[in-house]
Amino acid sequence: MQRNFEETLHSFQELVRRIKYYNEALAVVYWDLRTGAPKKGVPGRAKVIGMLSSEAFALSTSEEMDAYLSYFSDKENFDKLDRVWKAVVLDSKKEFDRFKKIPADMYKEYVILTSEAESVWEDAKNENDFAKFSPYLEKIVDFNIKFIERWGYKDNKYNTLLDYYEPGMTVEKLDRIFGELKQRIVPLVKKLKESKSQPNDSMFFKYFDIAKQEELSLLILNKMGYDFAAGRIDESEHPFTIGMTPGDVRITTHYYTNIFHSALFSAVHEGGHALYEQNLSPELDGTPISTGTSMGIHESQSRFWENIIGRSYSFWSCYYDEVIKLFPEQFKGVSLEDFYKAINKVEPSLIRVEADEVTYNLHVMVRYEIEKALINNQIKVSELPRVWNEKMKEYLGVEPKTDSEGVLQDVHWAGGSFGYFPSYTLGNIYSAQIYNAIRKQLPDFDELIKNGELIKIKEWLGENIHKHGKLLTPAEILKSVTGEEINSKYLIEYLEDKYKEVYNL
Ligand code: ZN
């Protein structure tokens, strides 16, 4: 590259932006596909997705990109970059190496395999037929093991997969963390189950008008500081958040006429994700680091709003009146205390996405242990139904009668997302650590919630976590917010304290 530094930087920035724009376009198409695209338009739209993503992929792995990355990785040039572009170079290099180490035809074969596997998985789940899905899963596991051999690994093959979703996370740390959770949460669940004071949540399963549910969700999202001029809420089968730029972060929820709290907590959860994306610093615009730093930190934001704030007594002492105003018949004679206990009912169940905040981590632990064993060739795919059921029985005390409500329930493995599940529990752990830190820095934290001044909490999160995007690693964010490394103690204590009170233990 003959040009001077400034010119080279300028054209590198153009290339980076081009990739970002492809990804933004992809996100809009993807959102459309899941929120309202007409059925007959789906196959055509899928082709657009295929084309746009191969263009973005080609640019990210191009010789042009290779040349820029070697130019800017050179120490003299690297030192001249500002901190944003240093981070962009490192991030793009990571992505480049990841893709470049996999031969193009191998990658293509894998993409086709996983997209087929997702539809086979759907049928297998509907028909309760694990044998139908297992040959696909075997191939996906084999591919992942082969990828790891090419990417390289340290200490444990599974570390490479973990690091993709949660940079810096390792099996060694997770084994310790899950060990600590297992030791305290399994007995806690048992005690809650045996308590004579069981919350009654039967009032949640009556008829709830969707327009009124929506009104309540919008009221709370507004209070949280979700900016509707930079977003919108729609309905989809499974709730999700998608951020194009901080100026366009959309969320979805799913309304059920016969369940009061499902859509509401989905909206609060996705709202937590969305606040992160809406409050990224403008200096990161147009770069790949204008997003959450990891899946775990992202999840900490949604869980913080959904569980720590949204399932707190302080929160409902502010908003329960609104609930009664909207649904006077359904909540007739239900006190704030009863309502609070009902939204915090703990019940070991078979399905992860329906799990409460106490048992949720045990569902994740089952998946973590299985993934780790699969990737290290310690169990075979054919053994999964048995292993799954044994672990469910051991940790949650419940055993699926069918594979549909057992090993087949989640789409992640069909899509090849090994290493993703632990993010959910990391999110819970981080959120409890953040909760501990925020209460020290905002001593009137509970009062703020009781008074509906959630905006101040949003601002604190924005300033301490959101604005950094990927400029800081998950560990750096955690350290700067809490002064500590990951520590499961806060989550364990939060759960023990809260639920001993809810269950009168
Ligand atoms: Zn989430």
The pLDDT, as a whole number, for residue 181 is 96
Q: Any idea what the CATH number is for the domain that residue 354 is in? A: 1.10.1370.30
Q: Which two tokens stand for residue 332?
A: 């007739």
For residues 370 and 178, the answer to whether their CB atoms sit within 8 Å is no
Q: Where are the beta strands (DSSP E) in 139-194?
A: none
Dihedral sign for Cα atoms in the order 13, 279, 162, 78: positive
User: 503 pLDDT exceeds 60?
Assistant: yes
Let me know the angle formed at the C-alpha of 128 by 125 and 132, rounded to the nearest 5 degrees: 75
Residue 350 lies in a domain: yes
The C-alpha atoms of residue 299 and residue 303 are separated, in whole angstroms, by 6
What is the pLDDT at residue 2?
A: 55
CA of 106 to the centre of ligand 1 (A): 31
**Long-range CB contact pairs, 69-78, < 8 A, 24+:** 69/93, 69/96, 71/1, 71/8, 71/12, 72/8, 72/9, 72/12, 77/5
Calculate mean pLDDT across residues 269-277.
Answer: 98
Q: Examine the domain organization and report whether 188 and 117 are in the same domain.
A: no
DSSP one-letter code for 156: S
| pLDDT of 432 above 60 | yes
**Residue 45: its pLDDT value, please?**
85
On whether residue 164 sits in a domain, the answer given is: no
State yes or no: pLDDT of 410 exceeds 70: yes
CA–CA gap between residue 304 and residue 368 (Å, rounded): 22
Q: How far is the CA of 300 from the centre of ligand 1 (A)?
A: 8
The residue ranking higher by pLDDT, 131 or 237, is 131
Residue 161 falls inside a structural domain: no
376 within some domain? yes
User: Cα of 385 to ligand 1 centre, how many Å?
Assistant: 26
CA of 364 to the centre of ligand 1 (A): 14
For the chain, what is the mean pLDDT?
A: 96
Q: What does the pLDDT look like over 278-291, one tens digit per residue? A: 999 999 999 999 99
Per-residue confidence at 111, pLDDT binned at 50, 70, 90?
confident
pLDDT digits 0-9 by tens, 367-379: 999 999 999 999 9
- In the reported structure, the alpha carbon of residue 271 is separated from the centroid of ligand 1 by a whole-number distance in angstroms of 9
| 151-204 residue pLDDT tens | 999 999 999 999 999 999 999 999 999 999 999 999 999 999 999 999 999 999
In a domain, 163, yes or no: no
- pLDDT for 405 equals 96
For residue 352, report the distance from its CA to the centre of ligand 1, in Å: 13
**Cα–Cα dist 230/418, whole Å:** 32
Task: Report CA(226)–ligand 1 centroid distance (Å).
Answer: 16
CA of 269 to the centre of ligand 1 (A): 6
Question: Does residue 3 register a pLDDT over 80?
Answer: no
Last residue of a domain, one of 101, 117, 152: 152
159 domain-assigned: no
Summarize the confidence of residues 380-401 as an average pLDDT.
Answer: 97
Q: What is the pLDDT of residues 438-447, one digit of tens each?
A: 999 999 999 9
Q: How far is CA 95 from the centre of its chain?
A: 20
Asked whether residue 344 carries a pLDDT value surpassing 80, the answer given is yes
Residue 281 lies in a domain: yes
Q: Tell me how far the alpha carbon of residue 415 lies from the centroid of ligand 1, in angstroms.
A: 17
How many domains are there within the chain? 2
pLDDT in tens, 54-110: 899 899 999 999 999 999 999 999 999 999 999 999 999 999 999 899 988 898 899
Q: Does residue 162 lie in a domain region?
A: no
- 8 bridge partner residues: none
CATH for 104: 1.20.58
pLDDT for 206-235, tens place per residue? 999 999 999 999 999 999 999 999 999 999
Edge to edge, the sheet with strand 241-245 lists 233-235, 248-253, 241-245
The predicted model gives 223-251 an average pLDDT of: 96
Per-residue pLDDT reduced to its tens digit, 451-485: 999 999 999 999 999 999 999 999 999 999 999 99
Query: pLDDT-derived band of residue 239, with 50, 70 and 90 as boundaries?
Result: very high
Averaged pLDDT, 412-416: 95
Task: Work out the pLDDT band at 36, boundaries 50, 70, 90.
Answer: confident
- How many A from CA of 355 to the centre of ligand 1? 13
Strands (E), 237-287: 241-245, 248-253
Given this model, what pLDDT does residue 66 score? 97
Q: What letter represents residue 12's amino acid?
A: F
The answer on 181 and 81 residing in a single domain is no
Tell whether the model's pLDDT for residue 41 goes beyond 90.
Answer: no
Q: Is residue 327 within 8 Å of 208, Cβ to Cβ? A: yes
- Verify that 380 and 278 share a domain, yes or no: yes
**Which is nearest to 304 in space by CA: 113, 94, 449, 168?**
449
Domain region containing 145: 5-152
Catalytic residue among 6, 63, 270, 337: 270
DSSP label at residue 256: -
In the annotation, is 270 catalytic? yes
Cα 72 to averaged position of ligand 1 atoms, centre (Å): 35
Position 447 scores a pLDDT of: 97
Task: Give me 153's structure tokens.
Answer: 């690994």
- Same domain, yes or no: 314 and 440: yes
